[in-house]
Amino acid sequence: MATTEEIRTSLAELVNDVAGVPVEDVQLDKSFTEDLDVDSLAMVEIIVGCEEKFGVTIPDEDSKKLKTVGDAVAYIESHQ
């Protein structure tokens, strides 16, 4: 099982790839939309990327609740 930090690092690479956000900015307390300026389309792509990268399924009703990097990491940790 990947650790929280490993998931965060991996997610940071994905967010960087999709939205061009510097990896060091992708910290657990950051909001995707407000702090990292990730728009709704990029967020969809990040969700799809997480599904592929971490082998989890994130239905729409759950993805809407993932406001911060920490929310996403916790979701991945508990569903892997």
Partner 1 sequence: MTVNASSGGPFARVLSIASAVPSRVVDNAEMCTYIDSSDEWIQQRTGIVERRWVAEGEDAESLAMDAATKAIERAGLTASDIDAVIVSTVSHFKQTPGLAPKLAAKLGTDGAAAFDISAACAGFCYGIAMGESLVRSGAAKKALVIGVETLSKLTDLHDRTTAFLFADGAGAAVIGASDTNGIGPVVWGSDGEQSGVIDQNVDLLESGRTGVPAVLTMEGQAVFRWATGFIADAARRTLAVSGVDATELDVFAPHQANNRITDSMLRHLKLPSTVKVARTIKTMGNNSAASIPIALDSMLASGEAKSGDKALIIGFGAGLVYAGQVIELP
Rounded Cα gap, residues 4 and 16, in angstroms: 18
Q: How many CB atoms lie within 10 A of CB 3?
A: 9
Q: For the CB of residue 48, give the shortest distance to partner 1 in the complex, in Å.
A: 4
Q: Does 34 bind partner 1 (CB under 8 A)?
A: no
Non-local CB neighbours of 64 within 8 Å, separated by 6+ positions: none
- Report in angstroms how near the CB of residue 44 gets to partner 1 at its nearest: 5
Provide the residue count of the chain: 80
Is 6 a binding residue for partner 1 by CB under 8 A? The answer is: no
The answer to whether residue 40 forms part of the interface with partner 1 (CB under 8 A) is: yes
The answer to whether 28 contacts partner 1 (rule: CB under 8 A) is no
